[in-house]
Amino acid sequence: MPDALFADPRLAGIYDLFDGARDDLTLYLEIADELGASSVLDVGCGTGCFATSLADSGRTVVGVDPALASLEIARAKDSRVTWIHGDATGLPELQVDLATMTANVAQVFLGEDWELTLRGIHAALRPGGHLVFETRRPERRVWEGWRVTTQRTRDGVTERRELLGVDLPFVSFRHTYRFPDGAEIASDSTLRFRSREEVEESLAGCGFEVVDVRDAPDRQGFEYVFIARK
């Protein structure tokens, strides 16, 4: 079940407002160029920021997301993208060059859904196709900085983030949004922090070969960017 942050229509409507400039997506566009990918599957596409950028570059793009409220915003942005309401385990027959999971997408899978997602992506790739995604390095313990509750306001809407608990490999937190009309909506989220070895083992078990592990330019030293080949 998607978090309210993505599934609640009112929260989905302000997601881009708080997400800000997506400098992290430049790396993915560069890797798509490097790999010569002309067709891309964006898993967990959300409100479609990356998928629309891919379409702007002339690529054939499929975006899939289980949060309908976010997907409807994405659909309104760009009709060139094939938008699918669902997840990677129930895709139609595809043979794409590249599949991506940007931002925290790879960490929202907490259990066996991770392997099921990898297998679904594997089936959607052409032979020799690639999967690219990022995941936060658990040894950097980024959640320690989340122990201080933060607050910010955009266009009259106030967002508050607070850490709910750390039970490694799981870290849970809450975003609460207060709107100018007084309405308040909370969204609880949990991420799973996997070691590099754990990620590599899961990829190998699902039919992938890890060809490179890079740093994320926007969070240097804090994330791994995996490039894996089918």
Handedness of CA 61, 75, 77, 174 (dihedral sign): negative
Which pLDDT belongs to residue 218? 84
Query: With bands split at pLDDT 50, 70 and 90, how would you rate the model's confidence at 68?
Result: very high
Predicted confidence at residue 131, as pLDDT, reads 99
Domain borders along the chain are: 4-136+195-229, 139-191
d(CA 183, CA 166): 29
Bridge-based pairing of strands 170-178 and 184-192 is: antiparallel
- Which residue shows structure tokens 């079940």? 1
Tell me the chain's radius of gyration from C-alpha atoms: 17
pLDDT band, very low/low/confident/very high, at 77 (cuts 50, 70, 90): very high
Fold of 4-136+195-229: Rossmann fold (3.40.50)
Q: Is the pLDDT of residue 20 over 90?
A: no
Cβ partners under 8 Å of residue 229, min gap 6: 128, 129, 130, 131, 208, 209, 211
pTM of the complete model: 0.96
- pLDDT at residue 217 tops 90: no
Domain 139-191 class in CATH: mainly beta
CA atoms within 13 A on the CB side of 92: 7
Residue 168: Cβ within 10 Å count: 10
Q: What pLDDT sits at residue 22?
A: 87
- pLDDT at 169 (0 to 100): 98
Alpha carbon distance 165, 169 (integer Å): 11
